[in-house]
Structure 1
Amino acid sequence: MGIDESQQSLLSESRNNSLPNEKKDLRRRRTLEKENYFQGQSVFQKPPQCIDGKLQAEFHFRLVFLWLALYLGGGTICFLLTSHQIKGIKTNGFLDAIYFCVVTMTTVGYGDLVPDSQLAKLLACVYVFIGMALVGLILSKAADYFVDKQEILLVSTLFKGEHFGPEELSKEVQTNKAKYKFLLATSIFLVLMVAGIIFLYFVENLDFVDAIYCVCSTVTTLGYGDKSFSTVIGRAFAVFWILSSTICLAQTFAYLAEYYTDERQKSLTKMVLTRKLSLFDLEAADLDGDHVVSATEFALYKLKEMGKINQDDILAVMDIFRKLDFDQSGTLTEADLIYSE
């Protein structure tokens, strides 16, 4: 098969590319008719609504802080006003309220502060569901954003002695993205674990085993309640530490699952690309039934084997192509797009 054949589109392979002269002339006339309309501009230009991805990510990241501030602020006011209906170990009214908010939204539930009236219990029920939605839908996205921003730093540190340039670093990150996300999240989680243990040991005066026990019961949201933060300084620390550590652990397990899936996909891809081709493969790859497998047909067949696309995807794309191909030439031109509108 020639090199030119690999450059043809899928649909152009399934048709006779020798168009009648009148069709070629029709296409030329249509293109010329639209030249003044385009005035040197291509219909393939980037639409104005396609904004820069980085700016969009920054914008959403700022919204995360806004939603979190509204949630914690509203909850703190509600539980501060009903503080007399909450029983348990109390320190400072405002600090206890925001601490109760964080313990509730992360489902840690130590039990050192509990609702003691019908109104407080109903508020806690509503608040915990909203908090779980906030953690699952918004704060987890913020964690993803933070990890993505730090991946290059992690890779540059790991390959510090190999003098990788920006392009090589970026390529390495994209190739093993799931792996580095998992490594980074695990590293951050371990730092938070150590920080929590040290704080509980030196500030809350727990012994070393109890400090480890309290940290583990917190980050896993078990929250037995026999060991918790009971000082003013401890609860101030817990407001930030509980929120970050519980989210970080959840993201670490999510990245682990992603990394495992990615490794399995890479193994499947390697197997598909290295195994020998059989006559059955040639027959299955022949999409147009002409007993000849082109480069495009071969690529599509291998992509289907890798699980990256399926037959329905191909048929859907071909159907869209046929609708856009106004003059039925097997190729798309600017004139085709104008007449198909």
Structure 2
Amino acid sequence: MASSPPGSSERSSLLANTTSTSLNQPFMAGYDNGGSPSSPILPADAALPPSIPRTASELEAAEEARLEAVAAQAEIPEAPRAPLTGKGLLALSLATVFGYLCLGVLMYTTLAGMSFLDALYFCVVTLTTVGYGDLSAHKPVTKLFACFYILIGVAMVAAFLSKLVELLLDEQEDLLVNLLTKNRAQAMGAEDPDTAAKVEVGLGVFYFLLLVGVGTTVFMVCGHMSVIDAFYLTVVSSSTVGYGDYFPSSTGTRLFAIFFLPLSTLLLGKIISDYTEMQASKRVKQRQTRLLLATVTAHEYAAMDADNDNRVSLMEFMVHTLIKQEKVTQEDIEQIHTRFTALDKDHNGFVTRDEVGEERDEDGDGFIDADEL
């Protein structure tokens, strides 16, 4: 058996002791016998630069400082604020309308000496553009205020109120469409736009007729009108015609008109708008179908053959048809072609992953960073 070199056993023992002391003792020292995390990581007499942490708490503090420095140097763009939808937009609409009505009531009760109910009724009649003429601004200061109140308020409040009515109807439309379809997945993924438009118009007509019935009944009971006069006042008010020969005169009818006028006028306007949009969309689809099924003439064939190779590819046919149906323009196609050409570095007619990655790696470091995506 070969003998060990002189002194080798002493060196091995010294190395083992040194390793055990430098590795095990520093980390166990802080936790043996109930030690705290602030106990020394390294022996107190270890020769280390002052910048190197010597305790667990110092190490944690150094790591936190490093992370804060990295975060401070990183340019993290602020996430754009999501547009208000649903309940947020509903709350904003209600708050805007309520605030503007409060302003009008305050001014007309102070300047014109109206009662609270008359001032609120007058503001609603003004903002809905019904204008019966039973109440009006007589003083110069109230006339001047009415001018600004109408110019600023009618457009703004009408926009918020129409959005409010639209949100309410959309919820009912979704429920009805889900009932008409077999399951919710079909309603969300394969909903027919024509069916949705018809449902929306149908719901609007239903609620409007319901409002007309309620209005006629209220004017009959509270306004002591005949059926014909009550129905006449309801229709004249809902259409914002407001002749002025009949108007809400009692406390009960004016209180009812405060809620009835905004709902009925905006609902009727939405029905007309939705129906017009549905008919226009229907005509556009009919025209697109007619163009798609039309016979291809020699002139059209020549226009389709963009590369003049005496044959029309699927891509050429699709581009020509989309332009003809006015779904895209020639400028859109040219912009898409320019973008594809910029991505196709080797001009072989294909875009590879490497070419996309090469474009995104703006700083040329060989990696696609988060801000380069």
- For normalisation by structure 1, the TM-score amounts to 0.74
> Which residue does the alignment assign to 2:338?
319
Contact kept in structure 2, 1:219 and 1:249, CA below 8 Å: yes
Contact kept in structure 1, 2:304 and 2:320, CA below 8 Å: yes
| Matched residue type, 1:262 | S
> Which residue does the alignment assign to 1:63?
92
Give, in angstroms, the shift of residue 173 of structure 1: 4.9
1:5-16 matches, within 5 Å, as none
> Which residue does the alignment assign to 2:37?
none
Between the aligned partners of 1:178 and 1:265, the Cα distance in structure 2 is 15
> Which residue does the alignment assign to 1:22?
none
Which of 153, 159, 176 is the aligned partner of 1:131? 153
Contact kept in structure 1, 2:112 and 2:139, CA below 8 Å: no
Matched, 1:190 2:219: no
> Which residue does the alignment assign to 2:19?
none
Contact kept in structure 1, 2:178 and 2:184, CA below 8 Å: no
Between the aligned partners of 1:325 and 1:74, the Cα distance in structure 2 is 61
Contact kept in structure 2, 1:325 and 1:336, CA below 8 Å: no
Between the aligned partners of 2:111 and 2:81, the Cα distance in structure 1 is 48
Between the aligned partners of 2:307 and 2:252, the Cα distance in structure 1 is 72
Which of 131, 139, 151 is the aligned partner of 1:117? 139
How large is the RMSD of aligned CA atoms in angstroms?
Answer: 2.6
Q: 1:19-40: CA deviations, max 9, x gaps?
A: xxxxxxxxxxxxxxxxxxxxxx
Matched, 1:338 2:338: no
| Matched residue type, 2:289 | K
Which of 199, 205, 208 is the aligned partner of 2:227? 208
Which range is displaced more, 138-147 or 108-117? 138-147
Which of 260, 271, 274 is the aligned partner of 1:241? 260
Contact kept in structure 1, 2:137 and 2:146, CA below 8 Å: yes
1:1-150 matches, within 5 Å, as 49=80, 51=82, 56-84=85-113, 93-150=115-172
> Which residue does the alignment assign to 1:283?
302
| Matched residue type, 2:94 | F
> Which residue does the alignment assign to 1:297?
316
Between the aligned partners of 1:263 and 1:300, the Cα distance in structure 2 is 23
Cα gap change, 1:306/1:227 in structure 2, threshold over 3 Å: closer, same or farther? same
Give, in angstroms, the shift of residue 240 of structure 1: 0.9
Between the aligned partners of 2:255 and 2:339, the Cα distance in structure 1 is 58
Between the aligned partners of 1:50 and 1:119, the Cα distance in structure 2 is 41
Which of 137, 146, 164 is the aligned partner of 2:182? 164
| Matched residue type, 1:265 | V
> Which residue does the alignment assign to 2:288?
269
Between the aligned partners of 1:207 and 1:78, the Cα distance in structure 2 is 36
How many pairs were matched up?
282
Contact kept in structure 1, 2:343 and 2:356, CA below 8 Å: no
Cα gap change, 1:230/1:202 in structure 2, threshold over 3 Å: closer, same or farther? same
> Which residue does the alignment assign to 2:66?
none
Contact kept in structure 1, 2:177 and 2:196, CA below 8 Å: no
Between the aligned partners of 1:303 and 1:175, the Cα distance in structure 2 is 21
| Matched residue type, 1:62 | A
Note the residue ranges of structure 1 that are not aligned, 5 or more in a row.
1-46, 87-92
Q: What secondary structure is seen at the aligned counterpart in 2 of 1:114?
A: coil
| Matched residue type, 2:91 | R
Note the residue ranges of structure 2 that are not aligned, 5 or more in a row.
1-77, 364-371
Between the aligned partners of 2:302 and 2:169, the Cα distance in structure 1 is 45
Contact kept in structure 2, 1:106 and 1:135, CA below 8 Å: no
Q: 1:50-95: CA deviations, max 9, x gaps?
A: 85x8x734322321112111111111111111232x6xxxxxx111
Contact kept in structure 2, 1:155 and 1:169, CA below 8 Å: yes
- For normalisation by structure 2, the TM-score amounts to 0.68
Between the aligned partners of 1:258 and 1:154, the Cα distance in structure 2 is 20
Cα gap change, 1:132/1:334 in structure 2, threshold over 3 Å: closer, same or farther? farther
Cα gap change, 1:78/1:153 in structure 2, threshold over 3 Å: closer, same or farther? same
Contact kept in structure 1, 2:128 and 2:158, CA below 8 Å: no
Give, in angstroms, the shift of residue 142 of structure 1: 2.7
